[in-house]
Structure 1
Amino acid sequence: MKNTIATIAAVITLLFTANTIQANSVKTEKTTNEIAESTQLQAVYDAYFTVKDALIKSDAKLTSAKAKDLLTAITAVKMDKLKSNEHTVWMKVVKKLSADAKSISATTDLKKQRETFKSLSKSTYDLIKVSSPDQPVYKQYCPMADADWLSKEKAVKNPYYGSSMLTCGNVVETIK
């Protein structure tokens, strides 16, 4: 009798443990999918910011290298993992994003890189506007270059002129 009760108790404990493990597994799977969705475009945004930072330093070779990283991030995006609204915009901008990243990576002419960065920034803005960035993103504008760019910092650091006019510009929008 004692063995039967002990066996029943062991089976109940085993079933409870199995159900708990299964429930945690489902939660982990959902969390992993949510992370995959958010990191799909976050990698593109992060790579964009490194291109911007290289332009701020007026380092054409670094800008070229970071644009190659951006191109890698763009090609790694799995469209089926994007949310519907992100997918729609992605389909509109992916060719231009890729072409701009390729163009910036193919040259060490800082003037050409900065000119192409204008278009790259517009496509990135269109995309980030429909997604939910991990942190606020600031759309900034330089009247001298008549161009926008995106930044994770509110303080203006101008990628179009680097140190010659580092703080030229202002925040025109905060994207959350």
Structure 2
Amino acid sequence: MIAITLLLSLVVSTAQIKNTKTDPISKNQLKPVFDNYFLLKDALVKTDGKTAAARSKDLLITITAVKMENLKTAEHTVWMKVSKSVTANAKSISETLDINKQRELFKSLSKNTYELIKVSKLAEPVYYNYCPMQDANWLSKEKTIKNPYYGSRMLSCGKTVKTIK
């Protein structure tokens, strides 16, 4: 009886491991990166350099936690192209409280995050927005335009150019 229980336990454990390998692990890998990007964007919308720096530190932690071997092929390919830049931008944003510098660095961060989101299958839509005054884009989970490049000075400046599903 004990042998049968151990055998069943081994079969269940093996099945769980196989399911883990076929489950969309990449969602778990990149979702924290995307979530922290959105929190950073929200801090920039509020023109809060201190919170933006803190959120960027959180973003940096989630970036370094990504295990490339668990990404889907398309995500892995894009990650290899953008990870150094995304890491450098997050690090630089975290090291300054100057909101103008943070916003300038956010342009590149947004461009590279967009490349990642395009190849990731997300549960909810993401809006790719454009600011003509900065000639720059950003990503948002909300349909409403809230411009991170100008905050309250020009909060609704911009338009959605693409919905990513």
TM-score when normalising by structure 1: 0.84
Equivalent residue letter for 1:75: T
Match of 2:113 among 94, 115, 124: 124
Distance 1:92 1:35 in 2: 21
Match of 1:29 among 17, 21, 42: 17
RMSD across aligned positions (CA): 1.9
Cα 1:27–1:155 change in 2 (3 A) is farther
Q: Which runs of 5+ in 1 are unaligned?
A: 1-10
Q: Which residue number in structure 2 is paired with residue 161 of structure 1?
A: 150
Q: Which residue number in structure 2 is paired with residue 144 of structure 1?
A: 133
Rg larger for: 1
Q: Which residue number in structure 1 is paired with residue 44 of structure 2?
A: 55
Quote the offset at 1:24 in angstroms. Answer: 4.5
Equivalent residue letter for 1:119: S
Q: Which residue number in structure 2 is paired with residue 96 of structure 1?
A: 85
Distance 1:141 1:31 in 2: 40
Q: Map Cα deviations across residues 81-101 of structure 1 (whole Å, 9 max, x no partner).
A: 111111111011011001100
Q: Map Cα deviations across residues 103-132 of structure 1 (whole Å, 9 max, x no partner).
A: 100100000100110000000001111111
State, as a whole percentage, how many aligned pairs show the same letter: 57
Runs of 4+ in 1 over 4 A off after TM superposition: 14-19, 21-24
Distance 1:79 1:72 in 2: 15
Distance 1:48 1:93 in 2: 14
Q: Which residue number in structure 1 is paired with residue 94 of structure 2?
A: 105
TM-score when normalising by structure 2: 0.90
Q: Which runs of 5+ in 2 are unaligned?
A: none
Distance 2:70 2:64 in 1: 13
Q: Which residue number in structure 2 is paired with residue 39 of structure 1?
A: 28
Distance 1:148 1:31 in 2: 37
